[in-house]
A and B are shown apart, each in its own frame.
Chain A
Amino acid sequence: MSTQILIAGFGGQGVLFAGKFLAYKGLTEGKQVSWLPSYGPEMRGGTANCSIILSDDPIGSPIVSNPDVLFAMNLPSLDKYENDVKSGGTIIVDSTLIKRKVERDDVNVFYVPATQMAADISAPALANMIMVGKAIKETNAVSFEGLEEGIKKVVPPKKADMISLNLKAIETGYNM
């Protein structure tokens, strides 16, 4: 089994971080993983995306052109990638920031007011992890078990206090 995930949003929304977490989570589950960022001049405020593949078999191309799962964290990302998602795939929309609905009817769509929810739990920078939580719930990309192990791999030791907040954000998204 192989799951191809595309996370897209503004630079600064934690797009790459969310992807890194999913990749590490997959790694701790014994999966083959790859993580490929868009790269370029956009550091903050521009568009950023990253492709993650989680697979039971060796991964050929790390490039995700037709994702199984799309995280649309802003409107330009939904506009750009909506039609690329595989039929039967999943789109998770940050409905705080994206007011329109997904137009396709052959995909599973979840509207998550992630930015608002993150603010509500006093973790305004963690809308990304709310989305991750929802993705874990609605797809079988990675397991809900052993979250902490995965989080510890991506939160640098200097920011160890962020581990519990990240976990809380994921759980909030998962349990919504």
Chain B
Amino acid sequence: MANKVLMKGNEAIAEAAIKAGCMHYFGYPITPQTEIAAYMAKKMPKIGGVFLQAESEVAAINMVYGVSSTGKRVMTSSSSPGISLKSEGLSYMAGSDLPTLVVNVERGGPGLGGIQPSQSDYFQATKGGGHGDFHMIVLAPSSVQEMADLTIKGFDLADKYRMTSMILADGTMGQMMEPVEISDDVQITKYEKPWATTGTNCERKHNIVNSLSLVPEELEELNYKRYEKYAQIKENEQMAEEFMMDDAEICVVAFGIAARVSQNAVVEARKQGIKVGLIRPITLWPFPEKVLSKAADKVKAFISVELSMGQMVEDIKLATSCKKPVELCNRVGGMIPSPEQVLAKINEVKGGLK
């Protein structure tokens, strides 16, 4: 415990990013993630890094685009409405195969919505996040420790695959404090970036960072190649945690704060003798299809617990080929399901089992 400190989830992300070698941060204030910017504003000047408050989310993501073009680790963070503004940049980053880490500490929507926690940007995050055929790696922490760990992991994956990693958290994850331990000596894999635009030094042909491709055949080829990379990621990078799944008849699926709530409900239900377990996706893209598909052969029903109108339900159905029914247990608009609500749903589903 000695090295553990209490940190807000937002602060843990910021500190972990610095430890992962990110020396550039650009952002624009928006609740409930502004602690990330505040932390960076305080820290970066002291360690020779760059913090700059951009004039807009649009500018911030394009500053990120600029730094990433030079091959350096860089990040931005925002909350739901701000991520919509960044979606232009996210698409260009994908089209230019640039790595970065983007944090979305979600709040209720649509529109200006509210400022309380939400998971209703699931589609936006997992199905692309902007125009065109592309994906981001989407990581869903469910503790402050994971806010830190997945930030470090996210930077690595971004560099490894030359794409955006997104931390998809919610207001609760951003605002809560828990003990967290971030190593002073994070192992950072160095990836060669011969494509970076850092000046030719008149020694090589110029590098061009670009997403424009006016010849359809060539653009098609680029898309095919990118999707080969995505297939590789789907094969290699799925992450999920299983809890009490060994003999489970009912499988609760939840991530982030919803997983925390669901865990309480599962423990209670077990006390009542109900065979229920929890699968907690850690990567939302790639979705942990393998573990879910395996579960589909064992359990009798799934319950998706979400802070959205059931956006993850579709992915569960796809991953399990609709072999078993998928029920939804949710709250939205900034509300969070209570363990009692989830328990009641488990009981309801249990009652319907043959």
Q: Are A60 and B263 in contact (CB under 8 A)?
A: yes
B contact residues around A60 at 8 Å (CB): 260-261, 263-264, 267, 339
Residue interface bits B303-342, CB-to-A below 8 A is 1, else 0: 0000000000000000000000000000000001011000
Tell me the smallest distance from the CB of B149 to a CB of chain A, in Å.
16
Q: Are B175 and A37 in contact (CB under 8 A)?
A: yes
Determine, out of A27-35, A94-102, A125-133, A157-165, the stretch whose residues face the partner at the interface. A27-35
User: Contacts A39-B31, A39-B32, A63-B336 known; A33 to B178 CB distance under 8 Å?
Assistant: yes
Q: Are B177 and A40 in contact (CB under 8 A)?
A: no
Residue interface bits A17-49, CB-to-B below 8 A is 1, else 0: 000100110010010111111011000000000
Judge if A62 is at the interface, Cβ distance under 8 Å. yes
Tell me the smallest distance from the CB of A138 to a CB of chain B, in Å.
24
Q: Are B338 and A27 in contact (CB under 8 A)?
A: no
Q: Are A36 and B31 in contact (CB under 8 A)?
A: no
Q: Are B6 and A23 in contact (CB under 8 A)?
A: yes
Docked Cα-Cα span, A30 to B179, in Å, equals: 11
Judge if B172 is at the interface, Cβ distance under 8 Å. yes
Tell me the smallest distance from the CB of B48 to a CB of chain A, in Å.
23
Judge if A175 is at the interface, Cβ distance under 8 Å. no
Docked Cα-Cα span, A171 to B6, in Å, equals: 24
Q: Are B31 and A33 in contact (CB under 8 A)?
A: no
Judge if B115 is at the interface, Cβ distance under 8 Å. yes
B contact residues around A40 at 8 Å (CB): 31, 115-116
Q: Are B6 and A24 in contact (CB under 8 A)?
A: yes
B contact residues around A32 at 8 Å (CB): 179
Interface size counted on chain A using CB atoms at 8 A: 20
Q: Are A63 and B115 in contact (CB under 8 A)?
A: no
A contact residues around B1 at 8 Å (CB): 27, 30
B contact residues around A140 at 8 Å (CB): none
A30, A34, A65, A153: which contacts B338 (Cβ < 8 A)? A65
Judge if B176 is at the interface, Cβ distance under 8 Å. yes
Give the residues from 62 to 89 in chain A that come closer than 8 angstroms, CB to CB, to chain B.
Answer: 62-63, 65
Tell me the smallest distance from the CB of A145 to a CB of chain B, in Å.
16
Docked Cα-Cα span, A61 to B337, in Å, equals: 10
User: Contacts A20-B6, A61-B261, A61-B263 known; A39 to B179 CB distance under 8 Å?
Assistant: no
Judge if B4 is at the interface, Cβ distance under 8 Å. yes
Give the residues from 153 to 192 in chain B that come closer than 8 angstroms, CB to CB, to chain A.
Answer: 171-172, 175-179
Q: Which 3 A-B pairs have the closest CB atoms?
A: A60-B264, A35-B177, A60-B263
Q: Which residues of A contact B (CB under 8 A)?
A: 20, 23-24, 27, 30, 32-37, 39-40, 59-63, 65, 153
